[in-house]
A = this chain, B = another copy of it.
């Protein structure tokens, strides 16, 4: 692969690693008896979503309506939209989308259920549960049951089950919440059609949440430095790397890269530093300007020179996909070509 032909900074995706990550994730989730529903937020590429479906995924998950619209237009027919939809314009778009594909959505309050009623016509609505993350979600299993009843009693809506994005480090709590919520919902409404959980950080302990019937991982498809740090994968499992050029070596122990927060994002995810340079293990990306990566070396013997190309594994792959118009696909050393990031910037 002639990296010199790629303008830097550039986001590279190794499809050989992607394929392996997809197969592994599918096997892991399948072995637990759960349906696989990858979250497309990590790659935002119909091409890779199609690889996930071909490997056995039941459908996809999206966070925003505009992401779902992009994937629906590309032929994805089964979409879970893990977000409270509100506002007249969005409800109209939701209605249109629900006519075109098998769409389900979530709610965590009566206000959202009532809004969805305006858009619904046999629309499946899952109750979002806060099982410990402290983001969206009803606060107790009985509140989940109450909202399920409200959904079931609302014309145009149908109770679709339970959904959570779990805090990764307390599967017992997630299981306790979901199991009790399932029991209460079953007593009130009969069988619960789906219990959806997700997240790559919690994937290794997904077996400890047997109440779940479906798993929605996102980052597993690319992996990143945060997952290497958790021990969830190795450096060799990281499919997304950022190609960057050294533009300055102001001192013996410092280098400046042409990739800054506009390429790598400022996400820390609890880590120290803003990414790793696999070929320079003693390098630390200590700070980012928008267009500069500030690197310090503790062992100034092995250093890149001004003009050299380096590869970076970012802390968090998902925002890197969102920051670039195009990714460059390759398979190991074979360059395949650029690919527009179809669902980049979809925040509405």
Contacts and interface: CB of A to CB of B under 8 A. Distances in A.
A90 B10 CA distance: 13
Contacts of A325: 345
A52 to B, nearest CB: 19
A108 B130 CA distance: 52
A7 interface: yes
Q: How many copies does the complex hold?
A: 2
Nearest to A306: B111
A65 to B, nearest CB: 9
Contacts of A120: none
A7 B247 contact: no
A103 interface: no
Interface stretch (A26-34, A134-142, A180-188, A275-283): A134-142
A250 interface: yes
Contacts of A305: 111
| Size category, A interface | 35 or more
Interface of A: 4-5, 7-10, 41, 63-64, 83-84, 86-90, 108-109, 111-112, 115, 130, 134-139, 245, 247-251, 254, 256, 258-259, 261-263, 265-268, 289-292, 294, 305-307, 318-319, 322-325, 345, 347-348
A248 B87 contact: no
A118 to B, nearest CB: 12
